[in-house]
Amino acid sequence: MASNPTRDDFAKMLDDMLGSEADGGFEGRVVKGTVTAIENDKAVIDVGLKSEGRVRLSEFARNSDEHGLSVGDEVEVYVDRVENADGEAMLSRDRARREAAWDRLESEFGEGKRVEGQIFGRVKGGFTVDLDGAVAFLPGSQVDIRPVRDITPLMGIPQPFQILKMDRRRGNIVVSRRAVLEETRAEQRQELISELAEGQVIDGVVKNITDYGAFVDLGGIDGLLHVTDMSYKRVNHPSEVVEIGQTVTVQIVRINQDTQRISLGMKQLESDPWDGVAAKYPVGMKLNGTVTNITEYGAFVELEPGIEGLVHVSEMSWTKKNVHPGKIVSTSQEVEVMVLEVDADKRRISLGLKQAQSNPWDDFAEKFPVGSTVTGEVKNATEFGLFIGLPGDVDGMVHMSDIAWGISGEDALALHRKGEEVEAVVLDVDIEKERISLGMKQLEKGAPAVGGAPSASGLKRGDVVTVTVLEVRDGGLEVQVGEDGATGFIKRSDLGRDRDEQRPDRFQTGQKVDAMVTGFDRTKKPNFSIKARQIAEEKQAVEQYGSSDSGASLGDILGEALKNR
């Protein structure tokens, strides 16, 4: 007769069926169960435990109102607890689906594969994505390559995502839609670039316009049409040439395989206006052009569409110096210029604005030769003279020594003020250096004539005269002959034969000295020299009283000469 099973035998049988408590049992596991009944909004499911569990039908419906369950269907559920307070098993279909999804997602994340999901909600900083049971976070910056204002069209649509990070213990998954789009675009871009070649002519649509150019869609890939490659003529802004949505024909100028950037050009499809420019615009040619741009250093003048030349600020005006070009010319103004230099290789043409006009220094010299009397306004008084405004918008200078006879230069300067109208005589015109020398004292009665006749005092080269020191300077002495005679200058080196005698400070204002007239400057003003007088006297004494070779010393000879004198 067989013995009855003991309590230990029943426990062992139950452990074999449910698993031991050490193995965790059914709790925390996904198991298969059978739908035994459908009651109101719940499905009764038998998973082989001593009691059945109930699961809401909404957990089976997911994105639709129909759960699609029938009695006898086999389903997978998650066992949260084997028995609750009511003696029923606590089951979850959502948790079962989530656990299965995590297993699959961890495998795909490890392999770097894309996963499919649907955006179904909005949260702070981004959106929630259903990855077939597992909920992931989609940051707002990872939705698209460019910012998206309205994400509604993207919600509820199955689409691929890339898992950026996942932590099963914390239940966190971060995904990106942007990474998928960038990878797809990179693949398409590489495929399109492989079909393009430098020099190829292709049509495209202007997609965007910036200050430096326009981006052109070449059929899935963008190229940059730089503003300098739009036209040979000056383009201030790309919008002057193209507009968004316009279809343009461009040439592929360069393809950078490393950065996958494409440079485009439109002017390359036109004939180059710089071909043969040197023959077309020879140096010295005068022509009209239009001012297109003004800078600190000059103005650009368009000679024809695509050909511009630069008028440097130094070539703009004969008389206006250190003036901003914008005060001489204005944009869109038509001007006459002269070609100064052509460099076809560097695409540069140097132009002159003042060269196309008459030289006012030439005009003045022709109208007012040396010796002519002119009238002008004192524009400026400096420490060395007066600047006089003259006809033809030129200036002349009266040196302080040519203002008046018989007084020092400083005193003469003090006699005149800015804005005063004065009369002067033209002493010299240097066209190359653009200088006009004037004299005022030459108009005084008894003054030396300008340009030829000897002075009233009858001075000539070699004369020895007594002069009075008017002013002691570092460079020499300002002196005057007699009371109201001609004034002149004795340079420091002409104050004596010895170095000790060449110190101006050994002379005093009002002191009288003998000096020789050594010449005249361009204004017929005499130059004096004490040194020349000493040398001349020594030479004369040697010739008259013998030489040192005859036994007489130089001291004896000069002593005798001075005694006789």
150 — phi, psi (to 5°)?
A: -125, 115
- Tokens 């069209």 appear where? 153
Q: Please report, in angstroms and rounded to a whole number, the separation of the first and last CA atoms in the chain.
A: 183
Beta bridge partners of 389: 377, 395
Interatomic CA distance for residues 197 and 86, integer angstroms: 76
Entry pTM: 0.44
Burial of 40 (0-12, 13-18, 19+ CB in 10 A): exposed
- Tokens 């390359």 appear where? 268
Interatomic CA distance for residues 382 and 401, integer angstroms: 13
pLDDT, one tens digit per residue, over 222-261 is 889 999 899 888 888 999 899 999 999 999 999 887 777 8
pLDDT for 409 equals 80
Task: Quickly list DSSP for 361-398.
Answer: HHHHHHHS-TT-EEEEEEEEE-SSEEEEEETTTEEEEE
Spans in the chain with pLDDT lower than 70: 1-30, 48-51, 58-59, 61-68, 78, 80-90, 92-94, 406, 444-458, 521-524, 545-565
Q: Which amino acid is at 261?
A: R
Interatomic CA distance for residues 451 and 428, integer angstroms: 9
pLDDT, one tens digit per residue, over 469-497 is 998 888 899 888 887 778 888 988 889 88
pLDDT for 118 equals 92
Q: Is 125 left (phi over 0), alpha (psi -120 to 50) or beta?
A: left
Count Cα neighbours of 259 within 13 Å in the Cβ-side half-sphere: 9
